[in-house]
Amino acid sequence: MSKTAVIIPARWASTRFPGKPLFPILGKPLLQHCWERCLKAKSVSQVIVATDDMRIAEAAFEFGAEVAVTSPKHPSGTDRVAEVARKLTGVTNIINVQGDEPAIDPRLIDKLAARLEDDRKLDMVTAAVPFADFVSAANPNNVKVVTTKDGRALYFSRSLIPFDRDQTGTAKYFWHVGIYGYRRAFLAKFVAWKPTPLEQSEKLEQLRVLENGASIGVIIAKEHGVGVDTPEDVERAEKILRGKKR
């Protein structure tokens, strides 16, 4: 069976929430919650925090994480993950988990790893959940994905896809979840590609994969989880985490 590592990219300089990875939630840094959840994934052999900030690195060392200090020049978290992945030995697959997901489901990580293991034709995998309501689906900040019958991504968009021309109300909308699994060799290829036209138009880097003819498997999950993007999201995250402890 292939060896899988989780890499959690974490940076200090967030426009909306500086220092977010170390913000305390229920007595622990946000990043620690994410790290602890990832450790519960049964398919994972390593969980690594990747950061260019020594404040984050020192805090992660203190709560017991394996830490990789990276270049400060990366344009995205994916590039940061790729730098760390290049240095790993014996690892075939990489799961990229955002450090602002304190309630990430370990079972979803296992499902991504299993999909890569079971379908060798896939270059990478991600996840989506059904939208609960039309208003959320119509929000351009919530990325939509449409797939083939066998669960491969056709397109990701901020627009409402598919378009319900006849307004029958039967169209199903799926919300993309920002977690990714890659074959390590493919990840190196992905970050070496130049940004593509659709990627630049939608501001969605996963479109670079599709525009270059590579394949993305999509797993349908039960819940979207909670991303902490602003200080206002903290209360919601705490409520969800309290529920998971019961």
Looking up residue 96, the CATH number of its domain turns out to be: 3.90.550.10
Work out the number of other CB atoms within 10 angstroms of the CB of residue 244.
Answer: 10
Q: Which backbone phi and psi does 205 adopt, to 5 degrees?
A: -70, -20
Please give the tally of structural domains in the chain. Answer: 1
Cα first-last separation, the chain: 34
Q: What is the percent of the chain where pLDDT is above 90?
A: 80
Residue 119 identity (one-letter amino acid): D
Secondary structure E strands in 59-152? 66-69, 93-96, 124-130, 144-147
Over residues 34-64, the pLDDT tens digits come to 999 999 999 999 999 999 999 999 999 999 9
pLDDT confidence band for 16 (50 / 70 / 90)? confident
- Cβ atoms within 10 Å, residue 40: 14
Boundaries of domain holding 240: 4-245
- What was the pLDDT predicted at 228? 80
Mean pLDDT for 219-242 is 81
Phi, psi of 102 (to 5 degrees): -70, -15
Q: Hey, what are 108's tokens?
A: 């979803």
Do 186 and 159 touch, CB atoms closer than 8 A? no
Give the model's pLDDT for residue 246: 46
* pLDDT confidence of residue 238: 82
What per-residue confidence (pLDDT) applies to 244?
67
Each residue of 67-91: pLDDT tens digit? 999 999 999 999 999 999 999 999 9
